[in-house]
Amino acid sequence: MKNFLGLAAAIALASLGSAPASAAHAGMQEQSRSDQGQARKEMKAGNQLSLREIERRVLPRMRGSEYLGPAYDATARAYRLKFIKEGRVTYVDVDARSGRIINRSR
C-alpha cells in the first residue's frame, strides 16, 4: 500500500510538471483553428484565394520537393507552405490575397 501511494504521488507530481506544456500546446491548437476559420471566412467573402488555388500556383514551381503542408497566418493574411528536398526544409510564404510568393527561406 505504501509503495502504491508513493507511485501515485510521483505520477501526480510528474503530471503537474507537464501541465504548462499541455496548456501551451492547446493554446497553439486553438490559434491554428482560429486562423483556419479566418482564412475560410476571407475566402468566402472573396478577399483572398483558397488554399487549393495557392497550392495549384506554387507546387509546380517546387518540382523535386516533397510538399509537407500549409500553415495560415491570419494577421499577415499569408500562407506558409513547407517543402523538403534532400533533407533541407524550405518555406514558401504566399500572399493569400494575390497568390504572389513574398518570401522563400531555408
Kindly state the DSSP code that residue 61 receives in the 8-state scheme. Answer: G
8 A C-beta contact, residue 52 and residue 96: no
Please write the tens of the pLDDT for every residue from 42-96.
767 777 999 999 999 999 999 999 999 999 999 999 999 999 999 999 999 999 9
**Number of domain units in the chain:** 1
pLDDT band at 13 (very low <50, low <70, confident <90, very high): very low
pTM: predicted TM-score of the whole model, two decimal places: 0.64
pLDDT reported for residue 52: 96
Length of the chain: 106
**Range with the lowest mean pLDDT among 14-18, 32-36, 64-68?**
14-18
- Cell numbers standing for residue 31: 490559434
From the CB of residue 45, how many other CB atoms can be counted at a distance below 10 Å? 8
Distance, in Å, from the CA atom of 14 to the CA atom of 19, rounded to the nearest integer, reads: 9
Per-residue pLDDT at 102: 97
Domain extent at residue 22: 2-105
Greatest CA separation for the chain: 67
Flag whether pLDDT at 12 surpasses 50.
Answer: no
8 Å CB contact between 77 and 93? no
Which residue in this structure is represented by grid cell 484565394?
49
